[in-house]
Structure 1
Amino acid sequence: MTRTPETPLPSPKECRRLREAQSLSQADVAAALGVTRATVRSWENGRTTPRGTNRDAYVRLLAGAEEVTPHQENPAPALVGAATGPVQASPDRAEPAPEPPSETPRASELASEPDPELGPDPARGPEPELGSELSPEAEPEPLSTSLTPDQAFDALYAFCAPALVRQAYLLTGRRELARESVERAFQLAWHRWPEVAMDRDPAGWVRATAHEFALSPWHRLRRRHRNPEPPPAAPADRALLDVLLQLPPVYRRTLLLYDGVGLDLPETAAETEASTPAAANRLLHAREAVATRLPELAEPKELHRRLAEVASAERLRAAKPITVRWGGEQRARHWTRAAIAFTVVLIGATTLTLRTAPDHYEPPLAPGATVHGVPPRVAPGPLSAEELALRAKLKGETVSGPERLVPKAG
């Protein structure tokens, strides 16, 4: 099969400049191409690149060949047809044309073929954008260099925190754990703020951290986690949440990112640290499990709507950004003091050991041995007649007696 060369694509920064020069928002470009706003954002961030007919239509749109006005409800038919038609072979791999969304691929086909619904599909309709209940309400503006770190962090928190709390609730089914996951993620982001501020997608960095903390298996060891929380009030919401919580955590997260948040398949695979085929298989199995229990949610668009309704029905509130920053700083101080105290104890124990330890070799004492032939000591008592005569004789002799040798002066 002969592969045609791809259309030259400007750099991500140049793509953003060309879009802004035509007074187009990312939502306008997404509507014109039939993709999600998250996909357009990833193109402009350099995380992914368009392929096939999407690439050609994107280049023509940036070059101004087709007239698209801001907030246009019916985009140009040429662009819609190019973006939603069958995907042609790309230099990387060939993808089959999308099938009707009502057909569910068999499990045996998951390992060899990508999901037809994972690409642009005219029958599926446009994906819900970031204005839904599961995603931030608007596209964040680039942080100005004049903002202080506190102001930049507060802006990111106000943009992402409400949606992240709802996402964490769908992942865990626990309200307090959802709030705690988001707060811990932003506290870690504040602790590593220079790294997060320079990241190409700070919102994605925080989202991945919050999801990982929410799905941590260590929570099952906590006493509070052993007690179940009250389920949602509506029976339909309880049924959907029960189905989600029965899925494996990685399947649940993949379904939430793709059908709930609206990420495309490569972004979902990258955030879940999986390959694109593996993410597609997880997504299809998760959809099949949901459709088996709840047949009315077999349509991805309806599933997205119900996920947003379940998440928004709880009316979860995130803490204020100043509270999160203060909590992160207090946590950092606590761990710093604990590390200093541990270091002091370690230094004290080492010093005590050096002072009390022997500094030279001391040979061990030989074991004792029994000595034979020594007469036993006699206890004191009255002297015999011979001993009395000998004592009298010794007392009667002078010091210079004949029995003694006395040196003479020369």
Structure 2
Amino acid sequence: MTQGAATPLPPPKERRRLREAGSLSRDEVAERVGVTRETVRRWEAGRTTPKGHKREAYARLLAELTTAAEPTTTATTATTATPTAAPTTAAPTLTAATAIQEPAPPAAGSTAVAVAEREPVAAAPRARTAAEAFDALYAHAAPFLVRQTYLLTGRRILARESVERAFQQAWQQWPEVAVDPDPAGWVRAAAYEYAMSPWHGLRPGKQRPEAPPATPEDRELLGALLDLPPVYRRTLLLYDGVGLDLPETAAETEASTPAAANRILHAREAVANRLPDLAVPEQLHQRLAELAGSERLDAPVSTVVRSGGEKRTRFWTRAAVAFTVFIIGATALTVRVAPTHYEPVPAPGSPIAGVPPLTGPEPLTPADLELRKELREKLSGGPERLAPSTE
């Protein structure tokens, strides 16, 4: 008996959108599916995937939300965007990283058949290898992601290192990244997480100042960004810099949509207090793009990133093997030198019958003491010394 294929689910961001379109909270979804609120949050963030009967129940709930949202979606497509959203035509320095059109590999045979029906029957293009697909993603996303991370941290070296580590992590988990609906977003989230780690404050190079931006306007804007709390800075950069929608920004920052909206408003207000000219979101978006484009931050070659990640993986694998061998050796030595039988503690001593007690000189009597005194007094000088004589 073979097991059937798993029920298909929409992408993680679509799951969150459907839940919010249906006016359901995570607690309500968790109660209907039979899981915890934290599990629903991980499903919507794409960190875990439901399995078994919970996947079936979750798929049915999303199907109901999709059916209920179809009339609303049709009506919404005819309306215009809100005036406070980020402009759709942004400078390429920030938006090109999110506009990568890399085709994900088909998840099932039906997808390949549908694509074949839409395209004319011709010579099929050669399938990309994993290294080629990774290099294509890196070539499109890395240059822009380095500049974005620089706006997030204000440090050029840390920005390059964060992007390099994020792509190395993506290469290690490439089967997962390759089928992700937004691979560039996957790498961006990993780079931002690494760049915002509090452990970087303990590094020796943290105290060395870096050269500020060239123009005073850029220095003012970068200073205003760095004065924001890290989570507010990241939310503002994703929404007004990268140009993500509000639900996508909330999902990437692992916050609710109202919380993300409040962070954006407070961050805009803080920046506008220092730079009144950037009170308009469109102007702020344009200035962020100009600031990122003014820095010449080159990313290393993709082959270097892949080889560096593989070397790091081999190093840690060998270190883990060496540590395991050390533990096994220490355990074997302990077993070798440990006693193999129980040695009881000697019992305390006890008197034995029939043995005479120890004897010794008795104490002197008064007569003995008197006699000893007299002998010492009379013989204190001793006999006269005899000298030899010839007579």
TM-score, normalised by the number of residues in structure 1: 0.62
CA contact (8 A) 1:54 1:83 kept: no
Find the counterpart in structure 2 of residue 272 from structure 1: 253
Match for residue 94 of structure 2 among 134, 143, 149? 134
What secondary structure does 1:230 align onto?
coil
Within-5 A mapping of 1:174-323: 174-323=155-304
For residues 222 and 245 of structure 1, what CA distance do their matches in structure 2 show? 19
Deviations 1:121-142 (A, max 9, x none): 358784334x521132654231
Within-5 A mapping of 1:289-368: 289-367=270-348
| Distance of aligned partners of 1:128 and 1:367 in 2 relative to their CA distance in 1, 3 Å threshold | farther
Find the counterpart in structure 2 of residue 83 from structure 1: 79
Find the counterpart in structure 1 of residue 358 from structure 2: 374
What secondary structure does 1:136 align onto?
helix
Q: Please state if 1:167 is matched with 2:148.
A: yes
What secondary structure does 1:134 align onto?
helix
CA contact (8 A) 2:100 2:137 kept: no
CA contact (8 A) 2:151 2:225 kept: yes
Find the counterpart in structure 1 of residue 82 from structure 2: 121
Q: Which runs of 5+ in 2 are unaligned?
A: 1-8, 12-61, 106-125, 361-391
Report the CA distance between 1:370 and its aligned residue. 8.9
Report the CA distance between 1:57 and its aligned residue. 5.9
Q: Which amino acid aligns with 1:374?
A: L
Q: Which amino acid aligns with 2:244?
A: L
Identical-pair percentage: 63
| Distance of aligned partners of 1:345 and 1:124 in 2 relative to their CA distance in 1, 3 Å threshold | closer
Find the counterpart in structure 1 of residue 364 from structure 2: none
For residues 351 and 223 of structure 1, what CA distance do their matches in structure 2 show? 40
Deviations 1:349-387 (A, max 9, x none): 0001111111221111235679981347xxxxxxxxxxx
| Distance of aligned partners of 1:132 and 1:360 in 2 relative to their CA distance in 1, 3 Å threshold | same
For residues 293 and 367 of structure 1, what CA distance do their matches in structure 2 show? 85
For residues 250 and 158 of structure 2, what CA distance do their matches in structure 1 show? 25
Report the CA distance between 1:143 and its aligned residue. 4.7
CA contact (8 A) 1:169 1:175 kept: yes
For residues 71 and 219 of structure 2, what CA distance do their matches in structure 1 show? 42
CA contact (8 A) 2:160 2:299 kept: yes
CA contact (8 A) 1:185 1:209 kept: yes
Report the CA distance between 1:282 and its aligned residue. 0.4
| Distance of aligned partners of 1:306 and 1:369 in 2 relative to their CA distance in 1, 3 Å threshold | farther
CA contact (8 A) 2:93 2:293 kept: yes
Q: Which amino acid aligns with 1:346?
A: I
| Distance of aligned partners of 1:246 and 1:231 in 2 relative to their CA distance in 1, 3 Å threshold | same
Task: Provide the alpha-carbon RMSD of the alignment.
Answer: 2.8
Range moving further from structure 2, 265-274 or 299-308: 299-308
Q: Which amino acid aligns with 2:357?
A: G
| Distance of aligned partners of 1:204 and 1:123 in 2 relative to their CA distance in 1, 3 Å threshold | closer
CA contact (8 A) 1:168 1:178 kept: yes
Find the counterpart in structure 1 of residue 43 from structure 2: none
Q: Which has the higher contact order (CA 8 A, sep 6+)?
A: 2
| Distance of aligned partners of 1:315 and 1:143 in 2 relative to their CA distance in 1, 3 Å threshold | same
CA contact (8 A) 2:104 2:180 kept: no
Report the CA distance between 1:54 and its aligned residue. 6.1
Q: Which amino acid aligns with 1:147?
A: R
Q: Which amino acid aligns with 1:152?
A: A
Deviations 1:263-305 (A, max 9, x none): 0100000000000000000000000000001000001111011
